[in-house]
Amino acid sequence: MLGNYVKKPALELAALSRLQFYREIHGRNKKAMEFIAKGWSALKEVDRVIDYCERNDKRLIPLLRTAKENFQLALEVDNSNTHARYWLSKLHLKYHVPGQNHAIGVALLVEAANMGDPEAQYELGCRLRVENDYVQSDQQAFYYIEKAVEKLHPGALYLLGAVYLTGDCVKKDIASALWCFHRASEKGHVGAAIAYGSLLLRGAQVPEHLTKFSLKRGSSAKKMNSAENTEMNPVERAKEQFQIAAKAGSDLGLKWLQRLEEEENRLLAESHSKESSSQN
């Protein structure tokens, strides 16, 4: 009986300790994200003007220093924050930031990728494919790109789709390429939308699991739209993809739409010509 009275306060104390622990974690995450937002804002300003000046222009130094300091502060507050690691690595690898160190940038990028950050995984995979001459680099690159694909990173999806389409490092698989382009296009990736539309015009068959997946998502209204899409001919499907690219500002997407419109007008003119000749 006495033991029950002793256990109850102990359990309550443990629950309070856990609650306090979670509050501290939440507080650190929130503070770290505030620093990341400040650093990202400074870096965004650098990207806005960097095309109009030299990359090592002294006028960029205050902004780069602000970005670096805020990303470092974010890591001090929350050392497990992968976003801060990724952006700090980007500063060392891409920009002429004070104290730039390529080795530190690489180490931070690898850490962020191994900790599960999809942006870091995608960038590391790309860098391993392009910059690394070691025998294992392609396999390592593919490993990190697949990890980013698992988190539906649009750039990684597009790249993996291209790998499956060309058969580079893997067995050529058009169905897998279509799946990758489809998912990347849903997230607004221009290259994936154009690749997907081009494959549809060439007669590539959309895998059945893609249409089933679309039918399972969203509200009943969306399901009705998806059901209509499953009956849509390949040209209409392709046109949708080119419209996605065009809305994102792609000139190639606009050119594809113009070509489709010209072809539709030509076929319509031929049809009218045949009808008038048969009536005569």
The pLDDT profile of the chain, 280 residues, written as one tens digit per residue, is 445 554 555 555 555 555 554 455 556 788 999 999 999 999 999 999 888 888 778 889 999 999 999 999 999 999 999 999 999 999 999 999 989 999 999 999 999 999 999 999 999 999 888 766 554 567 888 899 999 999 999 999 999 999 899 887 788 999 999 999 999 999 999 999 999 999 999 888 877 666 544 444 444 444 445 444 445 688 899 999 999 999 999 999 999 999 999 888 888 887 777 777 666 5
Rounded Cα–Cα distance for residues 8 and 244 (Å) = 60
The pLDDT assigned to 119 comes to: 95
The pLDDT assigned to 12 comes to: 57
Using the 8-state DSSP alphabet, how is residue 58 labeled? G
The pLDDT assigned to 227 comes to: 46
**Nearest alpha carbon to residue 91 among 29, 50, 39:** 39
Rounded Cα–Cα distance for residues 124 and 116 (Å) = 12
Q: Is residue 183 part of a domain?
A: no
**Residues near 182 by beta carbon (within 8 Å), at least 6 away in sequence:** 192, 196, 206, 210
The pLDDT assigned to 171 comes to: 86
Rounded Cα–Cα distance for residues 203 and 127 (Å) = 34
Rounded Cα–Cα distance for residues 252 and 242 (Å) = 8
Phi-psi region of 147 (alpha: psi -120 to 50; beta: other; left: phi over 0): alpha
Q: Is residue 36 part of a domain?
A: yes
Query: For the chain, how many structural domains are there in total?
Result: 1
Q: Is residue 83 part of a domain?
A: yes
Range(s) of the domain holding residue 81: 30-47+61-111
Q: Is residue 131 part of a domain?
A: no
The pLDDT assigned to 65 comes to: 94
Q: Is residue 272 part of a domain?
A: no
The pLDDT assigned to 46 comes to: 92
The pLDDT assigned to 75 comes to: 93
Q: Is residue 99 part of a domain?
A: yes
Q: Is residue 2 part of a domain?
A: no
**Nearest alpha carbon to residue 194 among 181, 211, 177, 180:** 181
Rounded Cα–Cα distance for residues 197 and 62 (Å) = 44
Q: Is residue 37 part of a domain?
A: yes
